[in-house]
Structure 1
Amino acid sequence: MPQSSSQASMVRLLSSAAALGALLLALVGCATAIKPHDETGAPMLGFQNMALNPGNGGELIKGDALRPGDIILTAENGLNSVGIRLITLSPVSHAAVYLGNQQIAEAVGSGIRVRSVDALVADEATVVAFRHPDLTAEQAIKIHTFAARHEGKKYNYVGVMLQAPFALERRMCELPLVPSMVRDFCIRGIAAVQLGLGRNDQFFCSQFILEAYRSAGLPLTDADPRLINPGDLLHMREGDVPSIMIHKPLKYVGHLKAAPQIIAAEQMRQ
């Protein structure tokens, strides 16, 4: 049945509203920073990179390329992962830390656990590793000790539940052109209200990574670990714009499991 003019107008209006909403969603949470141009050194506006793949197309690596202390970020195809990525506007939904000997430590629903890299890769759709450039062997041992001490402890369900409203409210702090120091202060202020000020000895995945590095004397940021989600860890990489102030950007190591375009690019190089 043909649409009436009023129905057609309503459809166009709803389509326009949806397009505007998508545009606003893309802008809100798109943190920016003034950065020097790679070639000329002239100041330019840098945007937060929402893509998981680095600019060079990515590099496939094996587990033996990892070093103790490497941070591993992942995404899977399940509903929980998709929900986390939608709420945090991020391509990743989980974080783990490499301990050495092909073992990783992570905070999951059942608590803090240690398992093999192969098991992690088998469960996830995308697995990418990053490295702190200043991490020493002694600090990596301290991270391992922290993980061993907390293995079996309970998961921070309360912290994860509080992340949902916090993730939405903090978007106002991440509007384009908001200076980094103002953005950092704004996010921490909202976190103090939404997440509380008390300490917590239970962890969710990204919080566990932040606390492990802090225990080693190499904090990634001075911000409360409870306000950090896996997407925040991703934006701590080189060339990106972190939402909160960090001490040092993380270096890209490679993909242990990657999207088809990275696999194709890797095959073309061979």
Structure 2
Amino acid sequence: MAQITEADMKAADIIVSTGSGAVSAVIRAGSVSKYSHAALYIGDGQVIEAIGEGVVKQPLSAALRDDTLAVVYRRKNLNDAQTKVIVTYASGQVGKKYDYAGVTGASKYTIGGMALHVLSIPLAVIQDIGEAINTISPESSFFCSELVLMAFKKANAPITFKSPTVSAPSDIPGSHQVAYVGHLKSP
């Protein structure tokens, strides 16, 4: 495990993280992962991320404030033009709402969500409705991994084969398209 600082980061680096709060615990349980959040580093100490308040741009230190674990990954073979597209796309989404319907629909594609989908008819209906809403209007609002993965897709540098609309933060470190850079925070 390599400990890094902001100085080791580049624009378009991806931060996957987890916190100590209840929402983080639910996401980690549902996705059976140690990660509950994904954010995009855009350079100059700034991060763009989709959180409960919506898509925001904030200092890296503020984005990491409540994290207990934060790990940086970098897309392999990313060129300067693609980096610019990623940062420009993500910057253009600032101010959009958080995608509660989409994250609910995407949850059925996680291991925990699949189990709940099979076992709970009312939850299955809610997940299906959420997925349908997000399919109709995928860029009107964002959840964390959807925003990050959509930015890379727009730059013709996808991270996974999955659609961003059915993603989870845990999809990012498992991709063969990214390389581990280091830990910003370790438990």
Q: TM-score range by the shorter chain?
A: 0.7 to 0.9
Deviation for aligned residue 1:166: 4.0
**8 Å CA contact 1:96, 1:107 repeated in 2:** yes
Q: After TM superposition, where is structure 1 displaced by more than 6 Å over at least 4 residues in a row?
A: 191-194
Aligned counterparts of 1:132 and 1:153: Cα–Cα separation in 2: 25
Match of 2:173 among 222, 226, 234: 234
Identify if the C-alpha distance between structure 1 residues 120 and 193 changes in structure 2 by more than 3 Å, giving closer, same or farther: closer
The match for 2:87 among 130, 144, 150 is 144
1: CA distance between counterparts of 2:128 and 2:103?
A: 15
1:195 aligns with 2:123: no
Contact persistence 1:166–1:194 (CA under 8 A): no
1:161 aligns with 2:104: yes
Equivalent position SS for 2:58: strand
Identity %: 31
Which residue number corresponds to residue 135 of structure 1? Answer: 78
Residues 61 and 235 from structure 1, CA distance in 2 versus in 1: closer, same or farther, beyond 3 angstroms? same
Secondary structure at the aligned position of 1:234 is classed as coil
What SS class does the counterpart of residue 134 from structure 1 fall into?
coil
Bigger relative CO (Cα 8 Å, ≥ 6 apart): 2
The CA distance in 2 between the partners of 1:166 and 1:133, in whole Å, is: 25
Structure 2 unaligned segments of length 5 or more: list them: 116-126
**Cα distance between partner residues in 2 of 1:61 and 1:76:** 19
1:101 aligns with 2:44: yes
Q: Aligned partners of 1:165 and 1:212: how far apart in 2? A: 22
2:178 is the counterpart of 1:250: yes
Q: Contact 1:107–1:203 (CA<8 Å) still a contact in 2? A: yes
CA RMSD of aligned residues (A): 2.0
Range that drifts further, 214-223 or 129-138: 214-223
Q: How does 1:100-119 map to 2 (within 5 A)?
A: 100-119=43-62
CA distance, structure 2, for counterparts of residue 139 and residue 232 of structure 1: 20
Letter in 2 for 1:223: K
Higher radius of gyration, 1 or 2: 1
Aligned-residue offset at 1:122 = 2.2
Equivalent residues in 2 for 1:164-183 (5 A)? 164-167=107-110, 168=112, 170=114
State the alpha-carbon separation in 2 of the partners of residues 147 and 87 from structure 1. Answer: 26
Please, which runs of 5 or more residues in structure 1 have no aligned partner?
1-57, 172-190, 237-247, 260-270
Q: Judging changes above 3 Å, is the alpha-carbon distance between structure 1 residues 222 and 131 closer, same or farther for their aligned structure 2 residues?
A: same
Question: In terms of mean alpha carbon deviation, does 205-214 or 192-201 score higher?
Answer: 192-201
C-alpha displacement of 1:123: 2.0
Which structure has more strand as a fraction of its residues?
2
Cα distance per residue 1:114-136 (max 9 Å; x no partner): 11111122221111100111111
How far is 1:193 from its partner?
9.1
**1:129 aligns to what SS in structure 2?**
strand
TM-score of the aligned structures, taking structure 1 as reference length:
0.60
Give SS of 2:156's match. Answer: coil
Three-state SS of the structure 2 residue aligned to 1:160 is helix
Which amino acid is 1:257 matched to? K
3-state DSSP of counterpart to 2:40:
strand
Q: Secondary structure at the match of 1:220?
A: coil
The alignment status of 1:218 with 2:157, answered yes or no, reads: yes
